[in-house]
Amino acid sequence: MTIAAESSTVTRVPFDPEIAPVLDAMAQNQQPALSRETLHLSREGADTLFPSAAEVIGDLPIDAADLVIPGPEGAPDLEITVLTPRGHDATRAALPALYNIHGGGMIVGHRSWETARLVELVAELGVIAVNVEYRLAPEHPFPAGVEDCYAGIAWLSEHAAELGVDQDRIVVMGGSAGGGFSAAVALMARDRRGPAIAGQLLLCPMIDNTNTTVSSHQYAGIGTWTREANLLAWECVLGEELAYSTEAPAYAAPTRAADLSGLPPAFVEVGAAEPFRDEDVEYASRIWAVGGEAELHVWSGGFHGFDMYAPGSELTRAALASRFSWLRRILGR
């Protein structure tokens, strides 16, 4: 299956002027384009590229523990990091938990890249966070990654009591590929009558493998996650045959799910100036159409993952405030 070439009539939504310089700076410091040949460059040292949990936590009253837990049946074990408010006594109180799945197009990335995002949430909300490491494509194509993610949240739910987690207040969350995995895990938990999931926090989620939306065409060759990178990623995950096909499985590309009813409340956040805008709006619209709960935020001029790249911007401040608000509403029920 081939993808039509970019139309020359496409006009992009402009980037927010406060955050646009981040992209300009990246353009000055051009990295080799992501390809099957350069993937290894993005993988080398990925686990030490970002500061350790202890460094990120600093003086904050949060404890970090790395654990190894069983993977899916017949598959390797999983590494997770658990972040807990200091002084939490698992025998006395049960806290809500955020189960985080990191981004990176399902082909790159490491959970440590998102420690800072989780530390902020633990500090702000007083919850426990669990950050999971899953297998990457193309070495481990679908369904390896998503089954790892599902096994991790199933383990968390089963071991909630010993971790001091409230089994009924576990939210699955992630950005980009992690948002897609989170949506998939919510579908799997529904279909398999698996762990109770109180909410799905989907940040610029990667959920549509067809690359046919307007926004998927608007951001060819520009931004922090381009159309070209997305085409590569889906081919790595699904293989050539299914890469961009409407026949792809829903647990790989959640927009392929025929039915979006019976899912936990969703929070969908995306930038207006990025490839996933339209697929994410569509996903929320489909949830509402069947009477489900969802909240949608599309931030003006936001590029993919803007909160990670432009942490001090007004756009990021406002986006984080709406995230915290939704989490408080969901966890306060």
Partner 1 sequence: MTLDSTIRPVPYDPALEPGLAAFLELVEGIPLRADTILANRAHFATIIPPIEAQVAGRAVTAEHRVIPGPYGAPDVEITIVRPQRASAEPAQDAPGVLSIHGGGQVLGTRFFGTGELIDLAEQYGAVGVAVEYRLSPEHPGTAAGEDCYAALLWFAANAAELGVDPARIIVSGASAGGGLSAAVALMARDRGGPVLAGQLLNCPMLDDRNETVSSRQYDGIGAWDRNNNDTAWDAILGSDRFTDRVSPYSAPARAAALSGLPPAYIEVGAAEVFRDESIAYALRIWAEGGQAELHVWSGAYHGFSGFSPDAIVSRAALDARDSWLRRTLRLPASPSVA
Instruction: Select the residue interacting with partner 1 from 7, 38, 246, 300 (CB under 8 A).
Output: 300
Question: Going residue by residue from 96 to 115, which x/- string records binding to partner 1, judged by CB under 8 A?
Answer: --------------------
Size of the site for partner 1 (CB under 8 A): 44
Q: Which long-range contacts (CB under 8 A, 24 or more apart) does 43-49 make?
A: 43/108, 43/136, 46/108, 46/109, 46/110, 46/113, 47/110, 47/112, 48/112, 49/110, 49/112, 49/113
**Tokens describing residue 224:** 């922090």
The CA–CA distances, whole Å, from 278 to 178, 270, 282, 284, 296 equal: 18, 9, 6, 10, 12
Instruction: Select the residue interacting with partner 1 from 20, 116, 123, 296 (CB under 8 A).
Output: 296
**Residue 221 within binding range of partner 1, rule CB under 8 A:** no
Cα separation, 302 vs 310, in Å, equals 10
**Residue 312 within binding range of partner 1, rule CB under 8 A:** no
Instruction: Select the residue interacting with partner 1 from 209, 215, 224, 226 (CB under 8 A).
Output: 215
CA-angle at 236, arms to 135 and 100, nearest 5°: 40
Site for partner 1 in 260-289 (CB under 8 A): 265, 267, 272, 277-278, 281, 284-285, 288-289
Cα separation, 317 vs 88, in Å, equals 28
**Residue 168 within binding range of partner 1, rule CB under 8 A:** no
| Residue 198 CB neighbours (<10 A) | 19
User: Least distance from C-beta 108 to partner 1, angstroms?
Assistant: 28
Whole-number CA gyration radius for the chain: 19
User: Least distance from C-beta 268 to partner 1, angstroms?
Assistant: 9
Instruction: Select the residue interacting with partner 1 from 54, 93, 161, 214 (CB under 8 A).
Output: 214
Query: CB-wise, 56 or 183, nearer to partner 1?
Result: 183
Q: Which stretch binds partner 1 (CB under 8 A): 48-56, 70-78, 184-192, 213-221?
A: 213-221
Cα separation, 155 vs 151, in Å, equals 6
Query: CB-wise, 117 or 277, nearer to partner 1?
Result: 277
**Of 276, 291, 263, 269, the residue nearest 234 (C-alpha):** 276
Cα separation, 322 vs 299, in Å, equals 11
**Residue 291 within binding range of partner 1, rule CB under 8 A:** yes
**Residue 200 within binding range of partner 1, rule CB under 8 A:** no
**Residue 317 within binding range of partner 1, rule CB under 8 A:** yes
Instruction: Select the residue interacting with partner 1 from 11, 28, 31, 91 (CB under 8 A).
Output: 11
Q: 3-state DSSP call for residue 62?
A: strand
Interface positions with partner 1 (CB under 8 A): 10-14, 16, 18, 214-215, 218, 265, 267, 272, 277-278, 281, 284-285, 288-301, 314-315, 317-318, 321-322, 325-326, 328-329, 332-333
